C-alpha cells in the first residue's frame, strides 16, 4: 500500500507513479487527517510512505499520524521523501519510528522534486519544474523495482551536516517558523473557500468572505499555492509565482 501526504502535488505525483508501477493501492494521509481519522490500516503488501521533506525530516504531522495508527498485515516499511534539494539525515528518524512501531525498516529514498517553500524561496518556472520531475522519474522507477523485489533501498551515509540539519536545525525550524502567524490575505480574495477546502488540518475558516487561520498550521503550502487569485501571502511569498506539480508530467 502506498500512503502519501502532499501539500502541492509532488509527493502525490510520486505516490501515484509508485502505485502504477507496483500495481498497488493508494491511501491519502491528507484525507485521513482532514477527517481526523485514526482508522486501522491493513495491507498485505509492504507499507510505502511518501511525503515531502520539512526541515530535513518527514513532516511531524505524518510521523505523528503513523505513530497513532494501528497497522496490520505486512510490516515492511519503505519511506520515499520528496525534497527540493536534500533530506539530510531523515532516514535515521524513519528508522527510529520503525523501531517504535515494530516495523521492518526497508530504507528511505530521496526524490528531488521542484521546490515549493514559498515562505522562504522562489518556486521554479514551469519548464524547469517539468525538467526536474523528468529527472526524478528514473529514481522513482528504481525505488519501485527494489520494492517489487522485496529488497531494501540503498543506504546512504549521513554527513555531520545532515545530522545537524535533521536534529537541532529541524527543532529550531519548528519552534520558530512552523505556524500561521504571518499568513494574510489580500484584497484579491473572492471568498471562494478553496483554501479551506485544501487545508489538510482544517486550519482555515472563511468568515465574512475572508480566510482566517486558526493556529494549527504545518506550513504545507497548499493554501498559498492553490488559491485561484494568489491572494494568500506569508513571509517572502509576495510577487512570486505559485506552484503545483506540473499537470503535463501526470499524463
Ligand atoms: C515547510 C517546508 C520545509 C521544507 N524543507 C525542506 C528541506 O529541508 N529540504 C528540502 O530539500 N526541501 C524542503 N522543502 C521542499 C519540499 O520538501 C519539496 O518541494 C516537496 O517535494 C514538496 O512536496 P509536496 O508538493 O508533496 O508538498 C520544504 C518545504 C516546506 C513547505
Ligand atoms: S482560496 Fe483565495 S480567493 Fe478563495 S477564499 Fe481563499 S484566499 Fe480567498
Ligand atoms: S493553513 Fe495553509 S499552509 Fe497551513 S496547513 Fe493549512 S493549507 Fe497548509
| Residue 6 Cα: closest atom of ligand 1 | 26
pLDDT digits (tens, 9 = 90+) for 149-166: 999 999 989 999 999 999
CA–CA dist 22, 99 (Å, integer): 26
**Average pLDDT along the chain:** 97
Decide if 19 contacts 128 (C-beta within 8 A): no
* 112 alpha carbon – ligand 2 mean position (Å): 30
- The helix/strand/coil state of 192 is coil
DSSP 172: H
For atom 6 of ligand 3, which residue has the closest CA?
A: 199
Give the mean model confidence (pLDDT) for residues 128-134: 97
pLDDT digits (tens, 9 = 90+) for 26-85: 999 999 999 999 999 999 999 999 999 999 999 999 999 999 999 999 999 999 999 999
pLDDT digits (tens, 9 = 90+) for 160-186: 999 999 999 999 999 999 999 999 999
Q: Using CB atoms within 10 Å of the CB of residue 44, give its burial: 0 to 12 exposed, 13 to 18 middle, 19+ buried.
A: exposed
Q: Is the pLDDT of residue 248 over 90?
A: no
Helices (H), 59-102: 60-68, 90-101
Residue 105 bridge partners (DSSP): 77
CA–CA dist 1, 27 (Å, integer): 7
E strand spans, the chain: 2-4, 26-28, 41-43, 47-52, 71-73, 76-83, 104-112, 184-185, 204-207, 210-213, 232-233
| Residue 196 Cα: closest atom of ligand 2 | 6
Instruction: Measure the N-to-C terminal CA separation of the chain; round to a whole number of Å.
Output: 22
pLDDT digits (tens, 9 = 90+) for 92-127: 999 999 999 999 999 999 999 999 999 999 999 999
- Residue 137: its pLDDT value, please? 97
Helices (H), 84-193: 90-101, 126-149, 160-164, 170-177
For atom 4 of ligand 1, which residue has the closest CA?
A: 54
CA–CA dist 149, 137 (Å, integer): 19
Q: Could you tell me if the CB of 230 is within 6 A of ligand 1? A: no
For atom 6 of ligand 2, which residue has the closest CA?
A: 195
pLDDT tier for residue 251 given thresholds of 50, 70 and 90: confident
| Residue 232 Cα: closest atom of ligand 2 | 7
For atom 5 of ligand 2, which residue has the closest CA?
A: 191
pLDDT digits (tens, 9 = 90+) for 210-222: 999 999 999 999 9
Q: Is the pLDDT of residue 193 over 80?
A: yes
What ligand is nearest to the CA atom of residue 246? 1
| Residue 195 Cα: closest atom of ligand 3 | 7
* 74 alpha carbon – ligand 3 mean position (Å): 32
Which amino acids bring their CB within 6 angstroms of ligand 2?
185, 189-195, 206, 211, 227-229, 231-232
User: Which domains does the chain show, CATH number per domain?
Assistant: 2-173 (3.40.50.360), 179-250 (3.30.70.20)
pTM of the entire predicted model: 0.98
Amino acid at each position: 500500500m502506498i500512503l502519501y501526504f502532499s501539500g502541492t502535488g509532488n509527493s502525490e505525483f510520486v505516490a501515484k507513479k509508485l502505485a502504477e508501477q507496483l500495481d498497488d493501492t493508494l491511501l491519502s494521509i491528507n484525507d485521513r487527517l482532514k477527517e481526523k481519522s485514526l482508522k486501522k490500516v491493513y495491507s498485505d503488501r509492504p507499507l510505502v510512505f511518501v511525503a515531502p521533506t520539512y526541515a530535513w525530516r518527514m513532516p511531524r504531522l505524518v510521523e505523528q499520524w503513523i505513530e497513532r495508527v494501528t497497522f496490520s498485515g505486512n510490516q515492511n516499511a519503505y519511506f520515499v521523501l520528496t525534497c527540493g534539494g536534500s533530506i539530510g539525515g531523515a532516514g535515521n528518524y524513519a528508522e527510529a519510528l520503525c523501531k517504535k512501531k515494530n516495523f521492518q525498516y526497508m530504507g528511505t529514498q530521496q526524490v528531488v522534486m521542484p521546490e515549493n517553500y514559498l515562505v522562504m524561496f522562489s518556486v521554479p518556472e514551469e519548464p524547469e519544474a517539468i525538467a526536474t520531475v523528468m529527472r526524478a522519474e528514473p529514481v522513482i522507477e528504481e525505488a519501485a523495482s527494489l520494492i517489487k523485489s522485496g529488497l531494501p533501498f540503498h543506504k546512504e551515509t549521513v554527513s555531520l551536516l545532515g545530522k545537524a540539519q535533521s536534529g537541532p536545525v529541524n527543532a529550531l525550524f519548528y519552534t520558530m517558523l512552523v505556524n500561521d502567524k504571518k499568513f494574510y490575505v489580500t484584497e484579491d480574495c473572492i471568498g471562494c473557500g478553496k483554501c479551506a477546502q485544501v487545508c489538510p488540518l482544517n486550519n482555515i475558516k472563511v468568515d465574512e468572505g475572508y480566510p482566517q487561520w486558526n493556529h494549527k498550521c504545518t506550513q504545507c503550502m497548499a493554501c498559498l499555492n492553490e488559491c485561484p487569485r494568489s491572494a494568500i501571502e506569508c513571509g517572502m511569498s509576495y510577487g512570486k509565482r505559485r506552484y503545483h506539480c506540473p499537470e503535463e508530467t501526470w499524463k
